[in-house]
Structure 1
Amino acid sequence: MAVFYSNALRCSINGYRSMSMFPKHYAEPIKRKDMEEFNKSELTKFYHIPIKPALNSYSDTVFNDEIKGKMLNYITKNGNKNLARGLLSRTLEIIKRAQTERMHLSPDDKQKVNTNAEKILIDAVENSRPLLQLTSIKRGGVNYQVPVPITKKRSYFLSMKWLLDAAFEKDNKVGLPERLAWEILDAAHGQGRVIKRKDDLHKQCESNRAYAHYRWS
């Protein structure tokens, strides 16, 4: 038993699964986005090669989106993903209804009103992404708040976290889907508390730009 665990640990460290149900000669699944890199002649090489089935989160369809999947993971608490999926679906439904009502109230601007709830969610996350952040660096016994560029992964995490924090801070008499929907709508239109929080962070980075050289010293 100990030998089995030691072999499994060694295989996991080396970067591949030791208990895979597929033989090693099986090729990795190809996403639709990856197919753009292959020519038609190169794809013919995979005709007689067995390919592993793709995971649910790996498929490139209109029902799967990376930002939507990450937002679903951030909403999930205590592993209850079914509840989180219901809350996110309800949020997107409220956004769709609000935008549809707005479209009917202003028939002259029908072409300008976006009723795609998932596209609005993506726009809200993109508008809320910060470009800089402050990090504490100690020089000469003094801690300085130094502005540094933020990574792409970290910026997406902060934008979604800020949207959820702003929704949780609102009145508890209203359900989470309603609160989150209005925060997403505000952020998608470049306004609201999340956009203000991002602008405040950028202003703090601008005011501390004199300490930017401490990043390399």
Structure 2
Amino acid sequence: MLGLRGTLLCRLLAEYSRDASGALRAYSMYPPTYIKPVYQKEKLEELIESGEAKEREFTPVRAAYNSHTSSVFHDSLVRKFTNHVMKTGQKALSRELVEQTFREIKLIQLRKWNQSQTPEEKSVIECDPNKIFHKAVENCRPLLIVSPIRRGGVTYQVPMPVTEHRSYFESMRWLVKAGKEKERTIHFPQQMARELLSAARNEGRAVKMKQDLHQLCEANKAYAHYRWG
């Protein structure tokens, strides 16, 4: 039980955390009118092409985080994938495994490129591991997902659209799971490189997991109306 002083203090904090419109600011040091910074070169070019950069010209911007960088060697998707590979907080080991995976992809593609006989065959072989990784993640992203919803004492698997953040999460989780399902004589970077190359061709176990999920959504489409129940 809070005393009178504690109750007044909580009320003052709640009033202080509200802005002029009455919405909660979640104790942020920036007002809601401040927008998040855009530090990636690709997104800046998209804003300039769409004309949105002109509209944001005089809009106040929040300070960037320490982890934000515009370096060409920084890739937010690779960083998230590294976090998925990591176990028990061993970030250095996770980074090393991802680097070895990319190195293995490069060696496989260069070996295939050198064995090609004609320039046409060489032109279709992608040797950039970063592009192969992005294509593999995009091919594994689901469009729908099932969610358990209880109605009348029965739990139904209801299909519903998946958010962008959740689709990337499921895609990378399936890729890591497929990379860990290997024989004891095969190291993780080698197996992970094979799975990424297979997913880039729209094949492999991770793509099969996505297709199985879509088939489950198709089988349970009769329960889709329970989303709004």
| TM-score tier after normalising by the smaller chain length | 0.7 to 0.9
Let me know the Cα RMSD of the aligned residues: 3.2
For 1:17 and 1:170, the matched residues in 2 are separated by 48
1:126 matched to 2:138: yes
After superposition, the Cα gap between the structure-2 partners of 1:112 and 1:142, relative to the gap in structure 1 and judged at 3 Å, is: same
- Give the corresponding residue for 1:168: 180
Q: Superposition pairs for residues 189-208 of structure 1, below 5 Å?
A: 189-208=201-220
1:63 matched to 2:78: no
Unaligned runs of 5+ in 2: 1-9, 11-15, 18-24
Alignment partner of 2:126: what SS? coil
Give the deviation of 1:86 after TM superposition. Answer: 0.8
Which shows bigger deviation, 130-139 or 90-99? 130-139
Identity fraction in percent: 41
1:149 matched to 2:145: no
- Give the corresponding residue for 1:183: 195
Alignment partner of 2:158: what SS? strand
Deviations 1:122-169 (A, max 9, x none): 000000011111111111221111111111101100110111111111
- Give the corresponding residue for 1:159: 171
- Give the corresponding residue for 1:99: 109
- Give the corresponding residue for 2:96: 86
Alignment partner of 2:125: what SS? coil
Alignment partner of 1:97: what SS? helix
For 2:69 and 2:150, the matched residues in 1 are separated by 46
For 1:28 and 1:70, the matched residues in 2 are separated by 20
For 2:29 and 2:115, the matched residues in 1 are separated by 56
Aligned to 1:138, which of 132, 150, 161?
150
After superposition, the Cα gap between the structure-2 partners of 1:198 and 1:29, relative to the gap in structure 1 and judged at 3 Å, is: closer
- Give the corresponding residue for 1:21: none
Aligned to 1:38, which of 53, 59, 69?
53
For 2:200 and 2:165, the matched residues in 1 are separated by 20
1:215 matched to 2:217: no
Alignment partner of 1:171: what SS? coil
Give the deviation of 1:60 after TM superposition. Answer: 2.9
Alignment partner of 1:213: what SS? helix
TM-score w.r.t. length of structure 1: 0.79
For 2:188 and 2:195, the matched residues in 1 are separated by 11
Aligned to 1:74, which of 84, 94, 101?
84
For 2:136 and 2:83, the matched residues in 1 are separated by 17
Unaligned runs of 5+ in 1: 1-5, 19-26
TM-score w.r.t. length of structure 2: 0.75
After superposition, the Cα gap between the structure-2 partners of 1:184 and 1:139, relative to the gap in structure 1 and judged at 3 Å, is: same
Conserved in 2, the CA contact under 8 Å of 1:57 and 1:64?
Answer: no
For 2:124 and 2:71, the matched residues in 1 are separated by 26
